Amino acid sequence: MAKRLYIGGLPYSSTDADMKAAFEKVGPVTSATIIIDKMTGRSRGFGFVEMENEADISKAIEMWNGKDFDGRTLTVNEARPMESRPARGGFGGGRRDY
């Protein structure tokens, strides 16, 4: 099963291909995805890389965490599972006492 890395501090001009190429220096990359802002269509400055091998995950963290990538310092660590968020109701408002 592929393991996921969180990559923070990415330059806004970086592409999925740039990130994939950088992490393939460590080992085979299953996927590389930069998160895009829905409203602006621009990078949000972070993304995720999936790698098959657990040893490659450790090497990638060691190689890239705190290092310069196109002028910005990366934060690289193992991604945590996404937490469930409470549903947001519409038509907010205060409580009414009748």
Q: Would the pLDDT of 22 be above 90?
A: yes
Question: Domain 3-78 falls in which CATH fold?
Answer: Alpha-Beta Plaits (3.30.70)
What pLDDT does 88 receive? 65
Query: What percent of the chain has a predicted confidence (pLDDT) above 70?
Result: 84
Over residues 28-34, the mean pLDDT reads 96
Domain ranges across the chain: 3-78
Q: Alpha-carbon distance 63 to 33, whole Å?
A: 19
One-letter identity of residue 56: D
Q: Is the pLDDT of residue 96 over 70?
A: no
Residue 17 has pLDDT above 80, yes or no: yes
Radius of gyration of the chain (CA): 18
Q: What are 54-91's pLDDT values in tens digits?
A: 899 999 999 999 999 999 999 999 998 777 667 666 56
Sign (positive or negative) of CA dihedral 30, 53, 55, 25: negative
Mean of all residue pLDDT scores within the chain: 88
User: Residue range 25-34: average pLDDT?
Assistant: 95
